[in-house]
Structure 1
């Protein structure tokens, strides 16, 4: 997840941020890199509001240095409902393993006083399609979702931030809102299994405790205690829940963290997930 670039997506946990690239997010397998199929991605911003992915893909494919080989292919697509275009490398000898997807932002993002309307993600062609399927724009998810999930630290003095002691229990308040025109039902069973959390320390994902998977299996098999509460939400109604974060993770070392939570959509909205906002956390001794 990246609040600066206003986008979230999933990639292999073993990929680490490359310190050689300090001007953009660049993640990959640790050096030395193999010669092919090395596993990486990078994010680039560009474009004015009038620019479209199709024209940028054409420029990438026809660039004089041939970054995608002599005869790359391009095709239009949709990514999180947004206009996009895929550049696929050609099969000529020595062609690169890089592919790219160019996506129009739902709304332009502003970074250091500059506005950008296009996101380009370059990645190893063996991984890029799987990454694309997980891309969600934070702005579009927040404005267009029929069901919203907001998280906030309990007893936080400032919105979106919190300070936690390393060994102290800490709770996060979850507020769910029905923004659709339908009546929705939200099942509350066990917070550890109702929600899926992503806690990042710098650029590394924090591992969960060993007993979390066991807890999930016990809930699934009916051997763990659950609440079995079904909340009915009419349009524009909200409900709240809480989750104890420290019970899910090993001891946290002092430093800066970010937290995001997701859960399944109510059954009336079909299959899918809703992702929360991201909060910043400082852990102290």
Structure 2
């Protein structure tokens, strides 16, 4: 690995470990804090902003990642990836909705994933870390950030209550700290 990759991996590990010390932690508008730019800036790594009117969200990611043309909202690069989607979970709270996702019969996150509670842009959120026995088939679910919408959104006539972002564990802190809901 080169120095840039090692630096960002180290930063990610430090940030993840500090974020998951408590079962519930609020990321209090870290993007507006004076220290936020320092916290997730790595020399030589430039950031870009993903803005989606479809999902009504935005967040930062490494500029070296580019859109994968085979997917609607998946970006990949030499250091990682992210993919965005939604799920309904209508009538359930976020805990029950996430439990439904991780307890599917095909076990997309393995048999014993870890779930951490957070508040992201003022909304309930969960981070899912797969267990070691996760199937290689689900390698694109290294970690998942699930955030509850303030109000359900409708895409193609279907209401959705949650947005999910799959990414590498190391990038969860960056995405969480820069995540925000956007208006039309």
Same fold (TM over 0.5): yes
Gaps of 5+ in 2: 1-50
Equivalent pairs, count? 131
Match of 1:81 among 111, 114, 122: 122
Match of 1:4 in 2: 54
Greater fraction of residues in helix:
2
Greater fraction of residues in strand:
1
Q: In structure 1, what is the Cα distance between the partners aligned to 2:63 and 2:101?
A: 29
Match of 1:127 in 2: 171
Query: Shift in Å at residue 17 of structure 1?
Result: 0.8
TM-score for both structures, normalised by structure 2:
0.63
Q: Does 1:70 pair with 2:116?
A: no
Cα root mean square deviation, aligned: 2.3
Match of 2:96 in 1: 55
Q: In structure 1, what is the Cα distance between the partners aligned to 2:87 and 2:135?
A: 28
Structure 1 residues 125 and 4: CA distance shift in structure 2, 3 A: same
What are the equivalent positions in structure 2 for 1:239-250 lying under 5 Å apart? none
Give secondary structure in 2 for the equivalent of 1:127: helix
Q: Is the 8 A contact 2:89 2:97 kept in 1?
A: no
What are the equivalent positions in structure 2 for 1:130-149 lying under 5 Å apart? 130-139=174-183
Q: Is the 8 A contact 1:57 1:86 kept in 2?
A: no
TM-score for both structures, normalised by structure 1:
0.42
Q: Is the 8 A contact 1:6 1:137 kept in 2?
A: yes
Q: In structure 1, what is the Cα distance between the partners aligned to 2:75 and 2:156?
A: 22
Gaps of 5+ in 1: 31-37, 140-276, 278-285
Q: In structure 2, what is the Cα distance between the partners aligned to 1:92 and 1:18?
A: 27
> Residues 74-118 of structure 1, C-alpha deviation per residue, up to 9 Å, x if partnerless?
122111110111111223487746111111101222222222121
Structure 1 residues 111 and 92: CA distance shift in structure 2, 3 A: closer
Query: Shift in Å at residue 121 of structure 1?
Result: 1.0
Q: Does 1:100 pair with 2:150?
A: no
Give 1 or 2 for the bigger CA radius of gyration.
1
Q: Is the 8 A contact 2:107 2:134 kept in 1?
A: no
Consecutive aligned runs of 4 or more in structure 1 exceeding 4 Å deviation: 92-97
Q: In structure 1, what is the Cα distance between the partners aligned to 2:57 and 2:135?
A: 32
